[in-house]
Amino acid sequence: MKELLRSWIEGETDPLEDLLDTSTREDQDREARKKISQEKIHRLEKDPKVQESVERVRKRFRKIYLAVAIISCISLSCVLLYTISLLPRYGAENPRATEVVSRYVEKGIEETGAVNIVSGMILDYRAFDTLGESHVLFTALICVMILLRIDRKNQRTGYEDYYTIRSDTYYDLSKDAILPLIGRILLPCILLYGIYILLNGQNSPGGGFSGGAVIGAGMILFSAAFGMKTADRFLTLKLCNMITFVSLAFYAFAKGYVFFMGANGLESHIPKGTPGAILSGGMILPLDIAVGLVVSVTMFGFYSLFRRGSIGMDVDYESFSSKRRKRPGGKKKS
Amino acid sequence: MNFIWNFPLFTVVLSLFSGPLCMMLKAKAARNYTIAYESVLTAMNACVLGYTLKTGSSFTYPMGEFPAPWGNEIRAGSLEALIALLFSVVLLCSVTAGYHFIRKDMDESKINLYFSVLNLMTAALMAMAWTNDVFTGYVFLEIMTLTSCGILIVREIGRTTLAAVRYMILNLMGSGLFLMGIVLLYDISGHLLMIPMRESLTEIVRDPAAVPAISMAIGIMTIGISIKSGLFPFYFWMPDTYGWATPTSGAVLSALVSKSYIFLLFKIYYRAIGIHVIEKTPIFQILFVLGICGMVVGSISAMHASTVNRMIAFSSAAQIGYIYMGIGLGTVAGFAAAMFQILAHALTKSLLFLTAPYLAEVSGDSLKFHALQGSARRDPLAGTLFSVGALSMVGIPVFAGFSAKLMFGQAAVLGGIHWRILTVLAALGVSSLLNALYFIRTLIRIYSDPDQSMKEPARKRPILDKSRIGFFLAGEVLTLLNVFLGLFSWMISDVIYKGLGMFL
């Protein structure tokens, strides 16, 4: 031990030699030359016997992995179920626990002007949460756009979008016999129903999120049944961006205004209306419309991005696919 | 009511508005806008900090006309303002210094989307700093989860996509567990706002039969957050996530995102559940042990790393361990040390992540150690800034890392339990030694003689050229703050103690 310490201090041995990467470039070159023997390894990899044993190990690992996953899931579920059995009965002993809920139920209509207490709760009492929640969807849309939208970089290297672009011409649903016909009948009903859910959110179950989802589904059906090109005539990228931006900006500022006024004890001058009428619930209706627009555009955006990598015709994909055709599989490496 | 009371609300709404706005702008306009509004944010946070220090008390700001148990609210004290100020400063510096690489790493048409995602993340960071409501915390935690994957995948190489998918799955698992914890707590207490929740839980916990359910809820939440922030057994996603992201993302993810989760957890412990309830469960002891494991294991993993980025990322695991160890001490001094470590680590780690790629740039775009040999001589500015970060990480006096370690030591000694003092001091010693091993090694390497076999002739970059003015300024700001934190740690710890005093 003493000997080792002395030799370390004098610089003869380095106990950390294997631990830290202290190699120089020459060392690396030498390593690279050594790697030629790796060809041997490659040859071995193709050997059926070796492959078989590798496969066996892999299978064993997969079995163990599966067993561990199942056991941990089951034990977690058991623990959670046990915890639930320990929870107090609803509203049984502790009056504090139901204080908030009962206030929502008793005074909700009076204070928010909305018959649908859920709408009143999420858009008035706890509006800050919903302000965040409506931006969650937008965030998801932006992330999908980053991942899937075709850009110059993708056009340069892109193997990923090769398939997306092709699939649109591969199987065009608008040439189908059934879908356009059914679409023509269903579409007005779906859109109308969506608008009804959206506008009536303060009076009956529904509101921005659910109504927007229905309208978005209608838009998806439209572009599937009548072709992307028909949809491109009015659902351009610019329009979609504009709708999203205006709705979200309106939402943020309207809610910011209400928070500001409420916190500073000022009158916000937003009429509550008679509960039950279509124009009631103060800000709930305009906010529902804004959320509905964002949700529907986002739904359509997801569909469009997943199907062909763009919203609207912002990519000149005629020329893109012709360029591809010239060099089939030229850069298809992954 | 002072007008400054509105500032926390403004920071959140302004950031939320900036997200969609940047989608509409062109790349350069989006960058300029982001820098401008983040400066405004910094100024507002500084105002709030100054105001709360002056009045010596925190203020509660109802979101809308409905008061506490019914409507949302946010609350600002010195500690929240300090954390929010840190977030905005580091964001500003990361964007300014990393723009060069943002342009290099991603397509021109997607840069505005990147800023859009970054601004939404800013909104989430702000909201998590200010919130006084457990569920608001969850909503913005969700935005944080999505945006942190968004700023990762924007560099469209296979590695980041893979890292982002893994990060997403783990993050969602963490969010799910956290949500389950909130649901359980809500079911038990009937409240989502932090202070009514604590009052309700204090009453309930008198009945010992209620303790197991509460400790289960706390446990689930803690597991969720520790997955998301990378505590010891869950730190393996760090190198890929931080190491392959574009430098701005790497800096923001490691310096701010994981810290914001920890800050939210701490807020829930301290304000929504109450320390006396937590002390009925073994959570603090577990966090203490896991934190110390993280400190050692993270450093050992960093020593084995093959590239400098992976090394820095693994050292994050060690530094997160410090924070959890501080929380696990369970004393006010421990919490203060943990908060100080959040500040010190955020400033240091962002500096490291932002300078390492500049060193790689003059080394043939390779982050491997042998390529980096002599890189600090080729790029003296990046080399100097990297040294500042590395020395601070090791814990050399004058820099922030030293003061953080000192505070941990003091906190342990003040705690007064012998085995804890010994464990903390030993862990600090071992961890610092390990840190020194790999950071000093890197420093020696980047300053040693340039490799003669480099194919390109070694060209020296001037310290200040026109294209790098943003990097120069941001680097200087981070360095100065780092030294300030190191030299005047008593001032900052004073602010933290005051903040903790008005935290409840």
Nearest chain A Cα distance for residue B69, angstroms: 7
What is the per-residue pLDDT for A12?
A: 66
B197 HSE (CA, 13 A, CB side):
26
Contacts of A73 in chain B (CB under 8 A): none
Determine the average pLDDT of the residues in A215-230: 87
**CA A301, CA A295: separation in Å to the nearest integer?**
10
What is the per-residue pLDDT for A47?
A: 80
Number of residues written out for chain A: 334
B50-55's contacts with Cβ under 8 Å and 24+ in sequence apart are B51/B2, B51/B4, B52/B76, B52/B77, B52/B78, B52/B81, B52/B499, B52/B502, B53/B78, B53/B495, B53/B498
Residue B421 CB burial class (10 angstroms; 0-12, 13-18, ≥19):
middle
What is the per-residue pLDDT for A90?
A: 64
What is the per-residue pLDDT for A319?
A: 47
What mean pLDDT is reported for chain A?
79
Could you give the ipTM of this predicted complex? 0.90
A287 & A244 share domain: yes
DSSP secondary-structure letter at B272? I
Contact B110 A25 (CB under 8 A): no
What is the per-residue pLDDT for B322?
A: 94
**CA B136, CA A127: separation in Å to the nearest integer?**
10
Residue A334 belongs to some domain of the structure: no
**CA B95, CA B118: separation in Å to the nearest integer?**
9
Count CB-CB contacts under 10 A for residue B234. Answer: 20
What is the per-residue pLDDT for A162?
A: 47
A166 & A258 share domain: yes
B134 HSE (CA, 13 A, CB side):
31
What is the per-residue pLDDT for B477?
A: 94
Handedness of CA A21, A24, A25, A29 (dihedral sign): negative
Residue A169 belongs to some domain of the structure: yes
Partner residues linked to B74 by β-bridges = B61, B131
What is the per-residue pLDDT for A324?
A: 46
* Residues of chain B predicted below pLDDT 70: 451-459
What is the per-residue pLDDT for A93?
A: 62
What is the per-residue pLDDT for A160?
A: 47
**CA B36, CA B29: separation in Å to the nearest integer?**
10
Contact B69 A154 (CB under 8 A): no
With contact defined as beta carbons under 8 Å apart, do A243 and A297 qualify?
yes
A306 & A204 share domain: yes
| Confidence category of residue A333, pLDDT binned at 50, 70, 90 | very low
Query: Which member of B72, B143, B161 has the closest CB to residue A139?
Result: B143
Q: What is the pLDDT of residues A245-265, one digit of tens each?
A: 999 999 999 999 988 988 888
Residue A155 belongs to some domain of the structure: yes
What b-and-e string marks burial along A240-270, b requiring 16 or more CB atoms within 10 Å of the CB? bbebbbebbbebbebbbebbbbbbeeeeeeb
Q: What is the pLDDT of residues A43-71, one digit of tens each?
A: 777 788 888 888 899 999 999 999 999 99
Residue A207 belongs to some domain of the structure: yes
Mention every residue, 6+ apart, whose C-beta is less than 8 A from residue B460.
B377, B378, B379, B380
Nearest chain B Cα distance for residue A105, angstroms: 12
B437 Cβ under 8 Å from any chain A Cβ: yes
**CA B330, CA B278: separation in Å to the nearest integer?**
9
User: What are phi and psi for residue B25, nearest 5 degrees?
Assistant: -90, 165
DSSP secondary-structure letter at B76? E
Nearest chain B Cα distance for residue A197, angstroms: 24
What is the per-residue pLDDT for A323?
A: 47
Contact B437 A20 (CB under 8 A): yes
| pLDDT greater than 60 at residue A179 | yes
Residue A8 belongs to some domain of the structure: no
Domain boundaries, chain B: 1-270, 282-504
Residue A24 belongs to some domain of the structure: no
Q: What angle do CA A274, A276, A277 make, to 5 degrees?
A: 65
- Left if phi > 0, otherwise alpha if psi is -120 to 50, otherwise beta: which for B318? alpha
**CA B137, CA B130: separation in Å to the nearest integer?**
9
Residue A97 belongs to some domain of the structure: no
DSSP secondary-structure letter at A316? -
A52 & A123 share domain: no
3-class SS shares of chain B: helix, strand, coil, % to 5: 80, 5, 20
| pLDDT greater than 90 at residue A206 | no
What is the per-residue pLDDT for A329?
A: 42
Place of tokens 């010994």: B422
A82 & A169 share domain: no
B21 Cβ under 8 Å from any chain A Cβ: yes
Domain coverage including residue A307: 116-326
Return the residue of B nearest to A137 by Cα. B143
Return the residue of A nearest to B105 by Cα. A153
Residue A240 belongs to some domain of the structure: yes
A176 & A322 share domain: yes
Mark which residues 199-238 of B lie under 8 Å from A by CB. Answer: 199-200, 203-204, 209-210, 212-213, 216-217
A290 & A150 share domain: yes
What is the per-residue pLDDT for A231?
A: 80
Query: Which member of B66, B71, B453 has the closest CB to residue A25?
Result: B453
Count of domains forming chain A = 2
